[in-house]
Amino acid sequence: MKYEPPKFKTLHEMAFIDVCRLSEPQALHILESIRWPEDPVCPHCKSKNVARIKGKVKSVRDGLHRCYECKQHFTVMVGTIMEDSHITYRQWIQAFHSMCSHKKGVSALQLQRNLGLGSYRTAWHLAHRIRFAMQEGPLAGALKGIVEVDETWVGGKPGRPKKDKKGKVIPNQKGFGPNGTNKTPVVALIERNGRARSGPVEYVCAKTLKGVIRENVDKASTIMTDESKCYKGIGKEFGGGHESVNHSIREYSKGEEIAITTNSAESYFALLKRGVHGTFHHVSKKHLHRYCDEFSFRWSNRKKTDGERTEMAVSGIEGKRVPYKKLGTALKGGEG
Ligand SMILES: [Zn+2]
């Protein structure tokens, strides 16, 4: 019997209701056609000399292929973020669609309930794997044009001062002051009308911030920041120079032809914080970079439809495998 793929909408045309109606064979077909647009390739030896093992698709184990070169078996999940997962293909696509369509993210608890998953741990791991798929690949390239750079403090429990080894409060550190917090500094670089890139940094200082800018921004760009001293002198390294607004005197936008402002970066942080406080409640420092990847992904692709974003995220599954151990365990009382 020849294998015939089922006929239905492609993933980028789908709304959530279409995704919910998918059968297991349809979901498998979608994942296979995104991962292997032409012919299936063996993930073990990259050979195309492979064949589908016949039989009905009933469970996760179905969709098996055999490689004639290395004699190994594989499914669409092998060598991707989905490897070793016991979640069905349908649930994977539904989870991808949920996370790509909710502006402020979806909590692991919500995913667990919506998809009928057995445990919080499974849902938490699923969400983190999807965040990993959303991470920009190395080919994404430098940010161009006008790039707004700003930093903020995210997460942590407020009102808990940072102490040194002897238990003495370390004074006068931004975010760690006497009334301070253990929040984590996050830097965002936002292309005006374009992509976003963000992530936690160890310290807010000139060395770190300039390093992040040099690494991520094209040399012909214009950098826009607030009045922070950390950015002083960065203009010399970029063709478009460096412009800044002085937030301390309530100056948020200036310039006539081109607006000098960091409003896009501020909007980005507002969204990220609404996600961290409103959806996830608590995000640990260790995993914060994945949440940043998730919010950057949605921001960069905000002009696309939910289905298009889902298809883009699914196409990021290849070669990114995250075992649970590597992620660590979920913390109690929050997303971790
Ligand atoms: Zn092989």
Instruction: Determine the residue type at 11.
Output: L
SS3 226: coil
Question: Rounded CA gap, 283 and 46, in Å?
Answer: 38
Question: How many whole angstroms from 43 Cα to the centroid of ligand 1?
Answer: 7
Rounded to the nearest whole angstrom, what is the distance from the C-alpha of residue 48 to the centroid of ligand 1? 8
- Dihedral of CA atoms 248, 250, 256, 259 in degrees, nearest 10, equals 70
Burial (CB count within 10 angstroms: exposed 0-12, middle 13-18, buried 19+), residue 317: buried
pTM of the model as a whole: 0.86
Tell how strand 146-154 and strand 222-225 pair up.
parallel
CA of 39 to the centre of ligand 1 (A): 14
Using the mean position of ligand 1's atoms as its centre, give its distance from the Cα of residue 332 in Å.
42
Which tokens hold the place of 242?
């460096």
Side-chain half-sphere CA neighbours of 182 within 13 A: 13
Asked if residue 188 lies in contact with residue 198, where contact means CB atoms within 8 angstroms, the answer is yes
**Phi/psi at 53 (5° precision):** -85, 125
How far, in Å, from the CA of 66 to the mean position of ligand 1? 8
pLDDT at res. 331: 35
SS3 280: helix
Distance in Å, CA 50 to ligand 1 centroid: 8
- Three-class SS of 42-58: CCCCCCCCEEECCCCCC
CA 64 to ligand 1 center in whole angstroms: 13
Alpha helices in 43-160 (DSSP H): 89-101, 108-115, 120-134
Residues in Cβ contact with 115 at an 8 Å cutoff, skipping those fewer than 6 apart: 87, 91, 94, 95, 123
Q: What is the pLDDT of residue 237?
A: 95
CA 80 to ligand 1 center in whole angstroms: 15
> How far away, in angstroms, is 67 Cα from ligand 1 center?
5
**Residue 136 confidence (pLDDT):** 82
Could you tell me the distance, in angstroms and rounded to a whole number, from the CA of residue 147 to the centre of ligand 1? Answer: 44
Whole-number pLDDT of residue 330: 36
Residue 334, token pair as written in the block: 């929050």
Per-residue pLDDT of the chain (336 residues; tens, 9 = 90+): 565 555 668 899 999 999 999 999 899 999 999 999 899 999 999 999 999 887 655 554 678 999 999 999 999 999 898 888 889 999 999 999 999 999 999 999 999 999 999 999 999 999 999 999 998 876 678 999 999 999 998 876 555 556 677 877 665 455 544 445 578 899 999 999 999 999 999 888 899 999 999 999 999 999 999 999 999 999 999 999 999 988 888 888 888 788 899 999 999 999 999 999 888 888 888 899 999 999 999 999 999 999 999 999 998 887 555 544 555 433 333 455
Distance 133 CA to ligand 1 centre (A): 24
How many Å lie between the centroid of ligand 1 and the Cα of residue 44? 5
Are 28 and 93 in contact by the 8 Å Cβ rule? The answer is no
Q: What is the pLDDT of residue 179?
A: 45
pLDDT at site 7? 61
All domains in the chain, ordered by first residue:
11-134 (no CATH), 141-306 (3.30.420.10)
In angstroms, what is the span from residue 96 Cα to ligand 1's centroid?
28
Ligand 1 centroid – CA 45 distance (Å): 4
